[in-house]
Amino acid sequence: MNKIIRRRPHIPKDQLLSIFGDESISILLQQIFASRKIVSSSELERSLKGLLRPQHLKGITEAVALLVEAFQQRQRLLIVGDFDADGATSSTLGVLALRAMGVADVSYLVPNRFEFGYGLTPEIVEVAKGFEPDLIITVDNGISSIEGVAAAKAAGIKVLVTDHHLPGDELPNADAIVNPNQPGCEFPSKNLAGVGVTFYLMSALRSALREINWFTEQNIPEPNMANYLDLVALGTVADVVPLDSNNRILVQQGLQRIRAGQARPGILAMLEVAGRQPHRIVASDLGFSIGPRLNAAGRLDDISLGIECLLTDDTVKARQIASELDDLNKDRRAIESGMQQEALKSLEQLDLDRSELGQIDNMPWGLCLFNPDWHQGVIGILASRIKDKYHRPVIAFARADGSSGEIKGSARSIPGLHIRDALDLVAKQNPGLLSKFGGHAMAAGMSFEESDFERFQTAFDQVVRELLPPEALQAEVLSDGELQPEQFNLSLGHELREAGPWGQMFPEPLFDGEFYLVQQRIVGEKHLKLVVSPDISGQTIVDAIAFNVDISIWPNNKAEKVRLAYKLDVNEFRGRESVQLMVEYIEAI
């Protein structure tokens, strides 16, 4: 699908001066930061002193009081998490921090997605009763668990909800709720991941315990909360939440610990099986190398395997589990590949590659895909792949386990459409259609009866057409401009690399330009390895690589020149560094 390359607006120098003053930041980086809506150099703070304080989190006082009481009364605690990387890191952080602060009895429980589905349901409360907890702490879930919280309370179990997902019209009747997105919460950052909320709660708890001399009286060392920032960074990046200034501090501090070799053995082991060197990692390595391996356990088996990898202090055990997670991730990729081929075959009759907006009105604006044989744990990735290919909101469905007749969907959206709000509108326009739904702006999940698939398909497409302008269906690449031949150097590569962390809503610098093709070949089945030159003389030669290209198009031996959108990266091979272009978009010209 051809894309439009659009360059970000040029920021006048006087405006840059008002933002950055005489700071020692290059003009190029000033332009990049300003185009990402940085309005003060203070927003570039990456030290812990710049972190927002927890007192503005609604419910934090009540939550801490619950936990302090649990400590003093030696209560049994149970953490109920989610089956993704954010849930795994949240569960791990909660268990480790509570143990370090002196809790003798804390366990975790994560619903198996195939047996129980998402969140604190009445069914998972029945399982939780086997742990005989006095207090259940949800992490990365719970804000929509109305019935589950009620079931726990009816059983005499207190409930503390920590979550970051958007709430519905009704909140659960928990003993305390900590969620920056709940009504009335004045916490300035609404973008904390579940693990970020857990970190803030544990930090506030440590302060409260210090005030009552808990650590002195118990003769235990006061834990350093910075020791958990590797987990916070991993969960934040893997959950693809916006990297606002507060999240960038959390991620940067976690990355520094990992680079210094001070990460959990499980994180280091997963980097090892992924072939990543800890001292060189950037935020994207957490998202593309560790995140998928951790998530593979929750998608195909049980996320507890990933949590055990993160919990263990035993390097040998961590490596063993990391190898198992790597195998699961390979299985996941094989399953996904087959599902993607089936999905593309079903879409062959829909010509969605047309470049003229007027020619796509007869095509669904919101794509719904269902195959009774698809794997429930992989539909989210499938939806993401199809969304990337056709640039429109996509929901992929699979049958729920059991004979309930339900199907479950995983949605991925494009800029301009808040997918959770879209599902809310579908539900309001079609009462009784959706059994349940929830999520974020760019990703969501839902359930309904399989017999209602075509009805939902029509309703979803209608809502997407109501909410999206036609031009939003034209895929575009947002570029930071063109680099000059002399800028293809290691110095700039390192400068851009270290200016992060880059991520969701704070994207890594992307440049565009026309290049002459010097060499092109396929490596690793479907990756295009290039040698290109920005000038016809060939005085400047640069290596480039484009991952997962359409091998029916590339290599293109007729092409002499290409238009690229790329990131300028530093490649290290056998101790030697070189500039490499990471190609995001390629088009023969």
Given a cut of 90, whether residue 401 has pLDDT beyond it is no
Q: Which helix (H) or strand (E) holds 374?
A: none
- Exposure string of 105-132, with b = 16+ CB inside 10 Å and e = fewer, is bbebbbbbbbebbbbbbbebbeebeebe
> Are the CB atoms for 561 and 516 separated by under 8 Å?
yes
Within the chain, all domains assigned CATH 3.10.310.30 are found at 352-473
Length of the chain: 589
* Residues 231-253: tens digit of each pLDDT: 999 999 999 899 999 999 999 99
Residue type, 326: D
* Residues 495-526: tens digit of each pLDDT: 999 999 999 999 999 999 999 999 999 998 88
Q: Which helix (H) or strand (E) holds 446?
A: strand 443-449
Residue type, 470: P
Task: With cut-offs at 50, 70 and 90, classify the pLDDT of residue 349.
Answer: low
Within the chain, all domains assigned CATH 2.40.50.460 are found at 477-588
The reported pLDDT for the residue numbered 354 is: 44
Task: With cut-offs at 50, 70 and 90, classify the pLDDT of residue 362.
Answer: low
> Are the CB atoms for 475 and 3 separated by under 8 Å?
yes
* Residues 57-90: tens digit of each pLDDT: 999 999 999 999 999 999 999 999 998 999 999 9
The reported pLDDT for the residue numbered 163 is: 97
The C-alpha angle 220, 221, 224, rounded to 5 degrees, equals 140
CATH of domain 477-588: 2.40.50.460
Given a cut of 50, whether residue 356 has pLDDT beyond it is no
The reported pLDDT for the residue numbered 358 is: 36
Whole-angstrom distance, CA of residue 339 vs CA of residue 21: 53
* Residues 474-485: tens digit of each pLDDT: 999 999 999 999
The reported pLDDT for the residue numbered 104 is: 86
Task: With cut-offs at 50, 70 and 90, classify the pLDDT of residue 441.
Answer: confident
Given a cut of 60, whether residue 361 has pLDDT beyond it is no
Given a cut of 90, whether residue 438 has pLDDT beyond it is no
Which one is the CATH code of 352-473: 3.40.640.10, 3.40.50.970, 3.40.50.150, 3.10.310.30? 3.10.310.30
* Residues 104-134: tens digit of each pLDDT: 899 999 987 767 777 899 999 999 999 999 9
Percentage of residues of the chain with pLDDT beyond 70 = 96
Given a cut of 90, whether residue 543 has pLDDT beyond it is yes
Given a cut of 50, whether residue 359 has pLDDT beyond it is no
Tokens of 556: 């293109």
pTM of the model: 0.89
> Are the CB atoms for 136 and 159 separated by under 8 Å?
yes
Given a cut of 60, whether residue 352 has pLDDT beyond it is no
Look over the chain and give the mean of its residue pLDDT values, rounded to a whole number: 92
* Residues 206-222: tens digit of each pLDDT: 999 999 999 999 999 99
* Residues 404-423: tens digit of each pLDDT: 789 999 999 998 999 999 99
Rg (CA), the chain: 25
Given a cut of 90, whether residue 360 has pLDDT beyond it is no
Tokens of 144: 């929509």
Closest CA to 390 of 343, 445, 353: 353
* Residues 263-307: tens digit of each pLDDT: 999 999 999 999 999 999 999 999 999 999 998 888 887 899 999
Closest CA to 379 of 396, 391, 394, 392: 396
Whole-angstrom distance, CA of residue 531 vs CA of residue 516: 9
Within the chain, all domains assigned CATH 3.90.1640.30 are found at 54-326
CATH of domain 54-326: 3.90.1640.30
Task: Check residue 137 and report its DSSP letter.
Answer: E
Task: With cut-offs at 50, 70 and 90, classify the pLDDT of residue 350.
Answer: low
The reported pLDDT for the residue numbered 403 is: 54
Whole-angstrom distance, CA of residue 250 vs CA of residue 47: 9
